[in-house]
Amino acid sequence: MSKVLYSPGLEGVIAGRSAICKVDEEKGELLYRGYPIEELVEHSSFEEVAYLLLYGELPGKSKLKEFCNEITDDRDLPKEVKRVIGCLPAKTHPMDVLKVIVGVLGSIDPDAQSNTEEANLRKAIRLIARIPTIITAHYRILKGEEPIRPDKKLSHAGNFLYMLKGVRPEDFESRALDTSLILYAEHEYNASAFAARVTASTLSDLHSAVVSAIGTLKGPLHGGANERAMDMLLKIGGPENAEDWVKRALSRKQRIMGFGHRVYKREDPRTVYIKKVAKELSEREGDMRWFETARRVEAVMAREKDLHANLDFYSAPVYYLLGIPIVLYTPIFTASRVSGWSAHVMEQLAANRLIRPRSEYTGPERRRFIPLDERG
């Protein structure tokens, strides 16, 4: 075996080929199936983007309507799944709830034993449809409230807000969440997508791959950053406190969540669009406090550390202004990214080779075994 250079965290290592997403760190460009993220944010919906990721092409009107109908028809949860949610311990983390319930859904899915592309497309659509229902049902049960049944007339984003709060959202609220779902839907070989592909490469099933991805996304260095970013903004309390708070945190070598990115060396191209949403939502709500606080933090981080805000940072005030509890920020990431994970699973299976890298051994060289009686 020839010597291969070691890269911590596989940074910069090309681990596979994919036609799903292009991240151009030099240009600061993000493409889904060749389409620039800015055009998708401006002109499409999450449902349209999910179709694009799963099928490889944008849908026509009839195909999109059919796809949306499939999602709305599958939003409700089977009775046995609802019972499991109700039996989970009250302190169960929402991401652990998702792992458990996605696993249960995998065991009862009508296509459970099939790994064909057609079966996986059906399973992916059912997961896209049901994950928002799982998130909101568990949260409402936790609060001692009845889960709200999905509304077929509402968009994916609008239905989530309705099931969470019990009030049909304004169009601008649905669009704000929809934009974040588009931006979070896919991002090349990120940690959770890679975890899903590793699982799929063993010829395991789509639900198992998604459970692997959810467990990976739960970590604060991947999916939990927006939760910690909002916690930080609340601790800062307002824009007038931002500079001193951030400087003190930096002097203590404290990590400021929502800044920097493993791939992007400059600004995350998604940030400009979620920042715009945060500003517009703040203006509509008549509450600029959290947007201005975030803006001040961003300025200090750019000046002091030459680090730029990523998607997670401005997602935090967007979700907060939408009245979404902080503990649900990462589950919402899941509700979006499951579309990208499913696309990766199917792409992996289409030209599969077991993902089995090597490690560079750093232990002792060959040693003589000493019998137990001679070891003292």
Considering the domain architecture, whether residues 184 and 245 belong to the same structural domain is answered as no
Catalytic residue among 109, 187, 312, 344: 312
The confidence score (pLDDT) of residue 4 equals 62
Rounded Cα distance, 135 and 97, in Å: 8
Write the CATH number for 264.
1.10.230.10
Residue 62 domain flag = yes
pLDDT band at 3 (very low <50, low <70, confident <90, very high): low
- The two tokens of residue 83 are 């019972």
Contact 94, 215 (CB under 8 A): no
* 136 and 26 in a common domain: yes
Look at residue 225 and tell me whether its pLDDT is greater than 70.
yes
- Return contacts of 330-333, CB within 8 angstroms, 24+ apart: 330/94, 330/95, 330/217, 330/218, 330/223, 330/224, 330/226, 330/227, 331/94, 331/95, 331/98, 331/131, 331/135, 332/135, 332/160, 332/177, 332/180, 332/181, 332/184, 333/184, 333/217, 333/223, 333/226
pLDDT of residue 334: 98
Give tens-digit pLDDT for 115-127.
999 999 999 999 9
Whether 8 maps to a domain, the answer reads no
Distance CA 334, CA 330 (A): 6
Q: Are residues 208 and 114 in the same domain?
A: yes
List pLDDT tens digits, range 77-112.
Answer: 999 999 999 999 989 999 999 999 999 999 999 999
pLDDT above 90 coverage of the chain, percent: 88
Domain that holds residue 127: 18-218+326-350
Domain for residue 359, yes or no? no
Q: Is 261 known to be catalytic?
A: yes
Closest CA relative to residue 192, chosen from 117, 267, 95: 95
312 given a catalytic annotation: yes
- Clarify whether residues 150 and 247 are in a common domain: no
Tokens of 350: 């289409």
Residue 316 is assigned to a structural domain of this protein: yes
For residues 305 and 332, membership in a common domain is answered with: no
User: Higher confidence at residue 337 or residue 268?
Assistant: 337
Specify the pLDDT at position 278: 98
Two structure tokens written together for 280? 């517009």
Asked if residue 10 is part of any domain, the answer here is: no
Q: Which of 11-15, 282-286, 372-376 has the lowest mean pLDDT?
A: 11-15
Mean pLDDT of 51-64: 98
Q: Would you give the end-to-end CA distance of the chain in angstroms?
A: 40
Higher pLDDT, 229 or 223: 229
Look at residue 72 and tell me whether its pLDDT is greater than 70. Answer: yes
Task: Give the CATH number of the domain where residue 35 resides.
Answer: 1.10.580.10
- 28-52 pLDDT, tens digit per residue, is 899 999 999 999 999 999 999 999 9
CA distance 309 to 301: 8
260-284: average pLDDT:
88
21-24 β-sheet, strand order: 21-24, 29-32, 35-36
Beta bridge partners, 309, equal 259
Among 138, 261, 308, 344, the one annotated catalytic: 261
Residues 182 and 265 in one domain: no
For the chain, the maximum distance between any two Cα atoms, rounded to a whole number of angstroms, is: 79
Mean pLDDT within 269-284: 96
The answer to whether residues 139 and 88 belong to one domain is yes
Residue 42: predicted pLDDT: 97
Domain count, the chain: 2
